[in-house]
Amino acid sequence: MLEQNRLSVIADVIRGNKVGNQHELKELLTNKGFDTTQSSISRDLKKLGVVKVDGFYKTPCIAPGESSKVDRLDATTAGDNLIVLKTGPGNANRAGFIIDRSSIPGILGTIAGDDTIFVAVANRQQQAKVLRKIFALFD
C-alpha cells in the first residue's frame, strides 16, 4: 500500500471521526481495508502533524484544495524576541503547523496551544519582517 494513500486515508478518518487513541484509529483503518501496525500509525501521525485537542486527534495538515484560513489572527509583540498570535478556538495548532512548515527566515521556533501561538524571533528587527510573512500565509 502506498504510504501517501495511507496518510491521506488517516487524515480523512481523523477529520470525519472522533478518534481518541491509536487503537480506535487502527480499527477504523482496518474497516477501510488498511492492515497496519501501531508503530506505523504512530509514525504516520507524526508525519501528518496530528495533535490531540480535547482528547481527540486533529490534523493541522492542509489537504489539497483546503484553505489555509483560520478564524482570526491577531498579533502583538512581547519584548524583543517574541510574537504572540491569537487565533479562534482550536486553530492555533493548525496555524502553528503552517507557520513551521513555511520556514520563514528569522523564526527560531514556535509553541502552539489551543488559541495562542508564541513565535520566537532572533531580534527586534526580525519581528516586523516575520509578522508580515506570517500574515501573508493566511491571506
pLDDT digits (tens, 9 = 90+) for 28-86: 999 988 888 989 998 888 777 777 777 888 776 454 444 555 667 888 889 999 999 99
Residue 17: strand, helix, or coil: coil
Residue with cell 491571506: 139
CA 85 vs CA 6, 81, 123, 138: distances in Å: 33, 13, 17, 12
Q: What is the pLDDT of residue 35?
A: 87
Using CB atoms within 10 A of its CB, is residue 34 exposed (0-12), middle (13-18) or buried (19+)? middle
Specify the pLDDT at position 64.
41
| Residue type for position 28 | L
Q: Cα–Cα distance between 26 and 38 in angstroms, integer?
A: 7
**What is 35-66 written as a DSSP string?**
---HHHHHHHHHHHT-EEETTEEE--PPPTT-
What domains sit in the chain, N to C, each tagged with a CATH number?
A: 3-58 (1.10.10.10), 73-137 (3.30.1360.40)
Q: What is the pLDDT of residues 7-27, one digit of tens each?
A: 888 888 988 899 999 999 999
Quote the pLDDT of residue 120.
96
Does the model's pTM come out above 0.75? no
What pLDDT was estimated at residue 28?
Answer: 93
Q: What is the largest CA-CA distance in the chain?
A: 53
Radius of gyration of the chain (CA): 17
CA angle 85, 94, 131 (to 5 degrees): 35
